[in-house]
Structure 1
């Protein structure tokens, strides 16, 4: 794996007339970690991209093998400075995908699941190369920035973009705020305007508003997991798409007002204001990063709690157990601690948008009940899933991620979908968790 800072990535994007972004499947990059693999491998490109004019037209060069279409292109890889004579191959007798090969192995080695391939058609060629490519690890901040910049939602897999159009849309979205700030400065009411934006809405507000918008869009009254075909996908859409869009807009307004306030109060000229205000500006941007991460986790728990309430499932949130505080105890702490209950009369569910090493906190104490970890993270490695299985932890993931080619969940015995969790683990195995509230 070779990394590139965001400013470097952004620079290459601006040099491109068209941009390709693809979420890498496990087959797209696992070959780079296989030391026994002696064959040249690469990335599979879907038919819609192959036929969209981003890559050159493929031709048959061997009449004896009419099913093989091929084209060679020189590609530049900024992270390593390599120029490769890459090859595009389409085996028409094997499917619609095209194989993009002769690529730097180091770029694809050690990548976290659901990492990204980014490449552009250069406005000005570098030597004989009209294309540049790089990989971006999904666990990096650069991946988060790219997803934000191009508004890559939960259902994103692969697409072409025109950078100028994307940046133009973003300019249009912020023009209102720029005009409002300029008008406030011109009319001398900046302090009053900044005061109006001086507080970010609470996580509870974002969670409730995101839920309301999802229900409205889908013609629903309740976030009932038994009335929604794919409750995990709904949860992922609410938390990673709808709520994040709400948060980005509010954050942009709040942070812009904060920066204007700091600069406006620190000096009579711009240079003096920035220099004197730097410590406060630095603290503001650090706070922004930390608040963004903590918001996502807390809201995710609120969405799951809403699923439990609307599905008439008995639960207790953030129950204190000594020095521990599980996200959810079902049905409640009293039942969990009872010596008279059976194994299936209680369970513990922890919830995190991103997993990392947090699952290890669950196994520090034995609870005599099933342990579940709910997440919308598609970057969990094979090794982590295996380690959780050894510790008796089951992962609960959105339905679309359960068999996704880009994640490592398919075929894992300790990974279930939210649909399976509500149907099998609660209704079938632990019907008492619902009957308590349904009676």
Structure 2
């Protein structure tokens, strides 16, 4: 099996697994002292049986098999001093090659196999990362967490009731991505006592709600089929491919649908999938197609935005999608990209737009160049 397949199988076959995008701090690219892979406080149980106690350090010696290829004698540690309150994985040994600056933006996956024994994978490339997400049933914005393998992870009973009522009313097997995205936003609004005006938080909440709705739909439609044996391997593969392909196609389209709604709420004039040079179709052109194709319209007032769930490899695809607009903006859910890649992006006049909470996952030297969604909307509105 490939590295990706092994990582997926390990996650599916073991109850405790975790994933995160590698940050510049993890890879020692911040210029500060490298102190190991950071694990957030809420995911402590991937490392220890009990959470750390403030004011006390604790550690455990573990063996980690990396990439299914080699092992390290590593250490899990909780720093509980007043100045620190964090978990880290340290001691990777001399010559360890998987935590270099160029690994920033790769996906780190950790699976607990047995007491003090773990498997770990560094997954590279947008296609493999998104295939991993689809296979284990999470989205890019659900990283930096334990991987939830339950069929439906619904934390709010009110949302669950809304989901089930909607599913029972459907007359089609699976509604299209536009309808699922729209319903997710409707259900989120209905379930919230207070409406959050912060666009960055809003889009993350919409994405989470939609994925919960999608998983509820998937569970409802396939629960019976998955509980009965398949007659042939080909039948099993065909069913699995149907599920995976639907998950993959949904992710990118849902992001575009939610961004469209953000721009509507913000009263921005925008067209999507505008045909430009060589029949390219960028995701969003501001203020629209008419202005883009009007050579008398001021180019400084034209804006381009692409939307990609991950972009470490794919950002180059947008460079020739709108020749009239020199600076390209790219919205992504990617967390962390190496300084070398960011430098290359900015040389090609590509500016990243990410949800505000994700900005700190990027190298500190570039954080002030990265826009939040609110920043981008304000910039377009002011122009």
TM norm structure 2: 0.74
CA shift for structure 1 position 228: 1.5
CA shift for structure 1 position 68: 9.2
Question: Which residue of 2 is the match for residue 75 of structure 1?
Answer: 63
Question: Which residue of 1 is the match for residue 105 of structure 2?
Answer: 113
Question: Which residue of 1 is the match for residue 123 of structure 2?
Answer: 137
CA shift for structure 1 position 42: 2.3
2:197 equivalent to 1:228: yes
Which of 1, 18, 21 pairs up with 1:21? Answer: 18
SS state of the match for residue 29, structure 1?
coil
CA distance in 1, matches of 2:58, 2:86: 12
> Which string of whole-angstrom CA distances, capped at 9 and with x for unpartnered residues, describes residues 140-186 of structure 1?
367426863xx688366456x9xxxx77x65999xxxxxxxxxxxxx
> Which string of whole-angstrom CA distances, capped at 9 and with x for unpartnered residues, describes residues 176-218 of structure 1?
xxxxxxxxxxxxxxxxxxxx88721111110111111222233
SS state of the match for residue 340, structure 1?
coil
Preserved CA contact (<8 Å) 1:58 1:88: no
> Which string of whole-angstrom CA distances, capped at 9 and with x for unpartnered residues, describes residues 219-268 of structure 1?
578xxxxx822x123112212x11111112222333456678xx8xxxxx
> Which string of whole-angstrom CA distances, capped at 9 and with x for unpartnered residues, describes residues 346-382 of structure 1?
2222222232544333322521464322222225444
**Distance of aligned partners of 1:197 and 1:369 in 2 relative to their CA distance in 1, 3 Å threshold:** same
Preserved CA contact (<8 Å) 2:74 2:89: no
SS state of the match for residue 366, structure 2?
coil
Which of 294, 300, 306 pairs up with 2:255? Answer: 300
> Which string of whole-angstrom CA distances, capped at 9 and with x for unpartnered residues, describes residues 13-35 of structure 1?
25xxxx4636365255314x89x
**Distance of aligned partners of 1:46 and 1:286 in 2 relative to their CA distance in 1, 3 Å threshold:** closer
Question: Which residue of 2 is the match for residue 8 of structure 1?
Answer: 10
Bigger RCO of structures 1 and 2 (CA < 8 A, at least 6 apart): 2
RMSD of aligned residue pairs (Cα, Å)? 4.2
CA distance in 2, matches of 1:111, 1:71: 26
User: Which ranges in structure 1 are unaligned for 5 or more consecutive residues?
Assistant: 60-66, 174-195, 222-226, 264-269, 431-439
CA shift for structure 1 position 108: 3.8
Preserved CA contact (<8 Å) 2:152 2:216: no
CA distance in 2, matches of 1:325, 1:53: 46
Question: Which residue of 2 is the match for residue 95 of structure 1?
Answer: 84
**Distance of aligned partners of 1:381 and 1:106 in 2 relative to their CA distance in 1, 3 Å threshold:** closer
CA distance in 2, matches of 1:245, 1:51: 23
